[in-house]
């Protein structure tokens, strides 16, 4: 897990990690903007197949919002579009406005984002000076707390569902307050089951790679998937690898439940789904040789 520094893109981290781990198959669990820092979990080799099955997609952030200035990217990296010269709102007004964003809200993805329109990333269209209509999506803000207000800056802690744009939250807050705003700083402190205390800087990871101690940082997939676990016998594993179904054993779960199936050594061999009649069908199968790596 990487503590991404300012100036690195998420893709930069993946490229560096290919060298650290001497592996081509590396993916990350949720993009961080170039100017954001913090938790960026990586999946190595066959574990990349499991990214979509991690159950906990919640995120936590510490951020700073600057009132009175709007930018085209909605953060400090962008070009200034408007500046508000009037008096800034008081703390009570800020807290009241923040309370309106807690719960389910609609967000329109920013033009400077990796969301695609017609197969083209929005940020590419934005750099060509184009703006296209985007569909709003529903996200949930579990917690939005004002920890410090020193105008024009306010510091927030945010707990939210995956896919939430804190940049959009900052801009929408500025609009609600009538003074405009942008996201000045952002640090991700949690991504699903991964927390900042587990992360290391690129410099630390590179040093550990050179010392041959890097592999100790790898976490077993079974412990982070957040799914019920089911131990399978070798013949059951072979049946799943052939695409077949098997009978369910272990504690009862409702039909539709996704389960992490593992071998005798604890290695994840498949993500399966429980069907009516206590049958299990494979959703994603890993070869046992892959699971060992």
Enzyme catalytic residues: 33
Q: Rounded distance, CA 154 to CA 83, Å?
A: 17
Contact in structure between 170 and 36 (CB atoms under 8 Å)? no
Long-range contacts from 284-292, C-beta under 8 angstroms, 24+ separation: 284/49, 284/50, 284/53, 285/240, 285/241, 285/243, 286/46, 286/49, 286/50, 287/46, 287/241, 288/237, 288/241, 288/263, 290/45, 290/46, 291/46, 291/263, 291/267, 292/265, 292/267
Its sign, for the CA torsion 196, 2, 164, 110, is: positive
Contact 186, 58 (CB under 8 A): no
Please provide the distance, in angstroms rounded to a whole number, between the alpha carbons at the two ends of the chain: 17
Count the neighbouring beta carbons within 10 Å of the beta carbon of residue 7: 9
The phi and psi torsions of 144 (rounded to 5 degrees) equal -140, 100
From the list 184, 178, 181, 193, the residue with the least C-alpha distance to 60 is: 193
Question: Which helix H or strand E contains 140, and what residues bound it?
Answer: strand 137-150
Query: At 91, is the secondary structure helix, strand, or coil?
Result: helix
Query: How many residues does the structure list for the chain?
Result: 293
């Amino acid at each position: 897990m990487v503590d991404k520094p300012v100036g690195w893109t998420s893709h930069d981290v993946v490229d560096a990690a290919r060298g650290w781990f001497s592996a081509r198959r590396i993916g990350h669990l949720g993009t961080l903007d170039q100017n954001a820092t913090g938790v960026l979990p990586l999946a190595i080799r066959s574990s990349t197949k499991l990214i979509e099955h991690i159950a906990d997609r919640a995120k936590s952030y510490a951020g700073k919002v600057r009132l009175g200035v709007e930018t085209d990217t909605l953060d400090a990296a962008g070009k200034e579009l408007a500046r508000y010269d009037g008096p800034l709102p008081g703390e009570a007004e800020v807290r009241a406005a923040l309370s309106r964003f807690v719960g389910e809200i609609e967000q329109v993805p920013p033009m400077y984002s990796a969301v695609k329109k017609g197969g083209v990333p929005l940020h590419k269209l934005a750099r060509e000076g184009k703006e296209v209509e985007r569909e709003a999506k529903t996200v949930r803000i579990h917690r939005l707390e004002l920890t410090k207000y020193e105008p024009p800056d306010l510091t927030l802690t945010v707990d939210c569902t995956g896919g939430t744009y804190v940049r959009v939250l900052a801009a929408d807050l500025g609009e609600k307050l009538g003074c405009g705003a942008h996201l000045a700083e952002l640090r991700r402190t949690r991504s699903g089951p991964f927390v900042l205390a587990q992360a290391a800087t690129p410099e630390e990871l590179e040093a550990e790679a050179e010392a041959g101690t890097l592999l100790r940082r790898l976490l077993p997939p079974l412990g982070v998937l957040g799914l019920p676990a089911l131990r399978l016998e070798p013949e059951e594993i072979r049946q799943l690898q052939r695409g077949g179904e098997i009978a369910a054993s272990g504690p009862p779960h409702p039909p539709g439940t996704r389960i992490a199936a593992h071998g005798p050594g604890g290695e994840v061999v498949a993500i399966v789904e429980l069907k009516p009649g206590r049958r299990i069908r494979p959703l994603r199968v890993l070869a046992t040789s892959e699971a060992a790596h």
